Amino acid sequence: MYKSAVGVITCNSATYIQEWIVFQYLTGFDKIIVCLDECDDDTFVKIQGLPDEVLERVDVFENSPHTKCVGFQHRGYQHIYDRYKGRVEWLAMFDDDEYLYDSQKRTINEMLASIPDDAAQVAIPWIKFTHSKQVLSAPPDVTRLRHFTHKERHRRIECKVVVRLDRIVTNAVPGGWYHCHRAEVSGKTVTFDGKESTILGTAIIPEHYDTCLAHYIHGSMEDWVEKYRKWKRENERLDLRIQRSFDDIAKSESNEVDNRMDIYVDELKEVLSQCKR
Q: In this model, does residue 214 exceed pLDDT 70?
A: yes
List, for residues 51-96, the tens digit of each pLDDT value.
Answer: 999 999 999 987 655 544 455 677 778 788 888 999 999 999 999 9
Domains of the chain with CATH codes: 2-272 (3.90.550)
Helices (H), 134-194: 144-147
Q: Distance between CA atoms of 247 and 231, rounded to whole angstroms?
A: 18
pLDDT tens string 139-192: 988 999 999 998 887 666 778 899 999 998 876 565 566 666 778 888 888 888
Which of helix, strand or coil describes residue 44? helix
State the average pLDDT for the chain. 84
